[in-house]
Chain A
Amino acid sequence: MSVLLILLIPLFGALLTYALGRKNPEIAGWISSFAALAAFILSIFTALPILRNSTEKVIFEGYEWFSAGALSIDFALQLDALSALMCLIITGVGSLIHFYSIGYMAEDDSRPRFFAYLNLFLFFMLLLVLAQNLVLLFAGWEGVGLCSYLLIGFWFKNSEYSKAGQKAFVVNRIGDAGFLVGIFALFKAFGVLDFNTLNVALTVNNGAQTFWLTLAALGLFIGATGKSAQIPLFVWLPDAMAGPTPVSALIHAATMVTAGIYLLARLALLYTALPFVQELIFSVAFITAAMAGLIALAQNDLKKILAYSTISQLGFMFMAAASGAYAIALFHVTTHAFFKACLFLSAGNIIHALHGEQDIRKMGGLFKKLPATAFSYLICLLAISGVYPLAGYFSKHAIILAAEKVYLTEYGFLLTALAILTTVYMTRSFVLVFLGRSRFADTLHIHKPSLLMQLPVVILALLSAVAGLLLSGHLEEFLVPLVGAFEVEQHAGIAASLGDSLLPLVIIILVCALYLKAGKILIFMAQRFSLINNLFANKFYVDEAYQLLIVTPLKMIARMTAGLLDQQLIDGLVESFGASVQTSAAVFKYIHRGSLRAYLGLIFIGSFLIIYFLYLI
């Protein structure tokens, strides 16, 4: 029952926030924040037995949602090690971001709507991770998409923003169609869709039904590429930065976008049995990570840099999952939730301080003005770059080791290169925002972040610092009953770990030096290699390519369907049928026009014909 309550608290929170907040916008944020906090506390208490023994499950049997014949879907919830981890991330990081939003949105008139949406998002996200079957998971999956749509277009007066929301929804719908094919194929293969039975079926399956299972795995992965912004469906996430920054932190960095990895981990047995699909996922994830990293190098919008960084990090998580190291993927989900949420909230503070400015070329020198934010950003920069003993080191290092073990045994340097890429673009953003001379007008009054906006950032920075040390090893062990074990040989000893950290540190210092002391060289380089620079800055022209190859032809087909097929052919046939009846009627009308002479003539012709046919043949 308490599992259901975890789910319902944010839902009622949303209703209450909107109902009470409309009269009194000040309390809207507090209601929803405390709803989130309550869900977090309840999650901890409900998950206690699981935290002690991770084979435990807390189940809410629920009721029969719908069924007919062989199809039977329950509205049932299940809290196990995997969903407990996700629940804690969602409600924990979620609560922090809720409280942060009270400060961030303090001047917005539509706060009640905003906080109601946030709580509604928590509801759907929790439904996604607590669902006991794929269909209910899909309900949460589409629900978070809906909230994402509503929140990206939150400032709907700007029609660009609502266009971005629509794009996110439609691109995700394409993924969802794949998701549905996956569900249907699994249903065709096994006739069941709840996870426990599916896992049993997959365990006893012994390689039967390969075609449908492959289709299912691919379909669900397409769904995952939509929600988790991988090639080919990643195009919506950068545009999604149109939403308020806390939304970017919560939905588009920490929680919703990791749903794809959660899905793969949920169906670990399905994917592990299909090495071909795993290889495909790995390749897609690797290319995505590389591509997003390169694009991030050439972006100037702070939030866009972070968005591409998210895409790239999600690629890392998918690489881990594709290597069979689901626990490590989820470990990175966890650490990433901390440091990326922190980065986004810091970005929020910066943007707030500069009255909405997001272009890093117009920032600089903010270290002294926003020391706490800058320090948090720095910690997260070190964390994401994989410097020991910060959180990112543990998860990212494990991913690289796992991927090397399974796929890129000979080409381990490719992964190290990817990691370096991360360090470079993140350091670039840090330098341009915080160091050097300030490039905004001196008269600009810098908004200092309030305590409500500063505290969550600091807490998250702290978590980014220590989570790795605390969780490394334990988290993987915790998840073993659900996603299986995966052995990687972590470096033993602190000395070796420090040695690993040397490279990112050197890179960070180099990039800092380059941007601070040799900016002219960079400008020269950018001009010299303008082709490549443009390619990165314009996101490899993927949007344009989609427009040209998919949207435009589809519009043409639609126009032809409406004009040629529907109007001319189908309706034309019907009309001409009617016209032919009218013509023949006109002929008969002419005959029956009441002229005696005509009748006599016809009688004469008729008699002649009768006589001819009867007697003369």
Chain B
Amino acid sequence: MNFLLLSIFFPLIAALILGAISYSNKNIKLQNTAVFMALVQFILVLISGAGIGEANPVAFLPWVPKFGINLSFELSGPAFLLTLFSSLIFINLLVFAGSKLKIQHYFLLFTVQTSLYGALTSVNLLLFYFFYELMILPIFLMLILEQSKELKRAVYKCIIYTLSSSLVMLAAIIFLAVSAYKTGGQISFELKDLLNLTLAEDTQRYLLIAFIFAFAVKSPLVPFHSWQPAIYSQSPAFIAVFFSSLLFQVGIFGVYKFCFILFPAVISDVAPLLSVLGVASILLGSLVAWRELGLRKALAYASIAHIGFSFLGLGSLNYAAVSGALFLIITHILIAAGLFILACIFERNSKSTQFAAVGGLAKTAPRFSFFMLFFSLASISLPLTASFVGEFMVLADTFFVYPLLASIALLGVIMGAVYMLNICRQMLFGEAHGEFQDLTSTQQLVLAPILFLILLLGICPQPVLQFINTDTQLVLKNIEIGEGNIAPRKYKLPEGSTNLQLANLYEDKRNN
């Protein structure tokens, strides 16, 4: 049995089962079954990851072989981690959303899960495109049922924006497939067939930009972000959490998974742009987050800033920075989930979207305050939390290539403390005014594992990083860039240095 295939399509099966159950008995409570299904899914993902490192698990089923469209998947190290953490957060999300969800919500959410896993693991470009688009449609269906006019407008904007941007990518994908036909006599969307195309560098550059444009809109990266804040701040709670913590990853990961591999010859021309836009995201995101008064809206802009760090690292094409960028995706899954869950609880309990609505929560709601403070500190990457590791790797190694950009990005590190602590101060400290109910035990149960994971990944990240590093090394090997990327950099001893013993000691230490 192919566990990879099973783990991808299991949510779809689960959706159908849930549908059948609800059809047969209208009054049954679906939540427990759904959580159970999500748990099974998590275990399946865990099992499917066996063997990563030596040989990545693959799955292959022909679909339309004539046009080279197949159900072909490969679970690389980072993809495994992303699916793993996503399925974990999905469980938390289902528990958090509670009994509010109806069967259509469950059905659609589970469908999104399948498309998310499919998009992360597929190595067939058309299949990837299929899942990539499928991901957004159920969200669209769920949101369009909502009453708010403002939200409806935001949803249309989001849908049209992301769909049209990915149409550009679709054009590039088809162009690649046709080129494969021209060289090999066979149309193919398989990633491995598309690697060996000999295209003119100019053509490659245009194609690359088409891909990056689509991913930049989806992530989102400044200046393609304007659909995001409204969606994050106005959707119903569970969709906001789902969107902010799970769906953003496909864009960033897509850059790494497709752009780096498909266009190794020209990626180094376009990569600086990624870094620059990353820094622009960091600055714009943190500045606007500082001026926002709505909690979720501020967090939405903070997300943009965090995603900027990932892009900064990706763009540097440096080994540790790219690994750090991928690691940051994981930490952002966790932190965004935590913060948005808290934000939704806050809105429900305080009946306001403004974070200053009820002050002094540290006294009246100590548990809420504890989690809020913790997740805020994690989001400004305090050391010993997960995001510090990622951010440090990104910045330290980007500094090696672009010292100035990395230094400017540090302004975002400062600004992060400014806006997050400002939110915390107005929410948690000062005199309490207004009623606020502290976290229930279920809510604590949802948040505690996320908190634990953030700490664990901050103190002991290497076992997880190992999965990423192996893959990063393979991907970056093909990219031609400057000095000292993959091999450990050696410190050059100055000429005429006499202290041989010390020098040897240094070399020994370095080589270990």
Residues of A within 8 A of B (CB): 63-71, 75, 135, 138-140, 142-143, 146, 149, 153, 156-159, 162-163, 166, 169-170, 173-174, 176-177, 180-181, 183-185, 187-188, 190-192, 194, 196-197, 200-201, 203-208, 555, 557-559, 561-562, 565-566, 570-571, 574, 578
Contact = CB atoms under 8 A, between A and B. Distances in A.
A254 B192 CA distance: 63
Contacts, number: 195
A206 to B, nearest CB: 4
Contacts of B397: 68-71
A584 B324 CA distance: 45
B392 interface: yes
A561 B288 contact: yes
A156 B320 CA distance: 41
A208 B503 CA distance: 15
A156 B384 CA distance: 25
Interface stretch (B176-184, B265-273, B504-512): B504-512
Interface string B149-173: 0000000010011000000000000
Interface string B422-450: 10010011110000000000000000000
Nearest to A145: B382
B102 interface: no
A562 B292 contact: yes
Contacts of A188: 399-400, 403
A70 B489 contact: yes
Contacts of B324: 68
Contacts of B291: 555, 558-559, 561-562
Contacts of B189: none
Interface in B203-230: 222-223, 225-227
B28 interface: no
Given A70-B489, A183-B396, A574-B161, A200 B431 contact: no
Contacts of B418: 170, 173
Given A68-B393, A69-B488, A191-B510, A146 B382 contact: yes
A185 B403 CA distance: 9
Given A69-B485, A181-B407, A566-B288, A173 B413 contact: yes
Interface stretch (B75-83, B107-115, B493-501): B493-501
A578 B160 contact: yes
13 contacts: A69-B488, A70-B484, A135-B383, A149-B421, A157-B360, A157-B429, A169-B417, A173-B413, A185-B399, A197-B506, A204-B493, A204-B494, A562-B287
A282 B399 CA distance: 29
A68 B160 contact: no
B320 A68 contact: yes
A159 B509 CA distance: 51
B319 interface: yes
A193 B489 CA distance: 13
B502 interface: yes
Given A174-B414, A561-B287, A206 B494 contact: yes
Interface stretch (B42-50, B60-68, B461-469): B461-469
B451 interface: no
Nearest to A73: B392
A197 B431 contact: no
B410 A196 contact: no
A208 B320 CA distance: 25
Contacts of B319: 68-70
A180 B410 contact: yes
Nearest to A155: B429
Contacts of A169: 417, 421
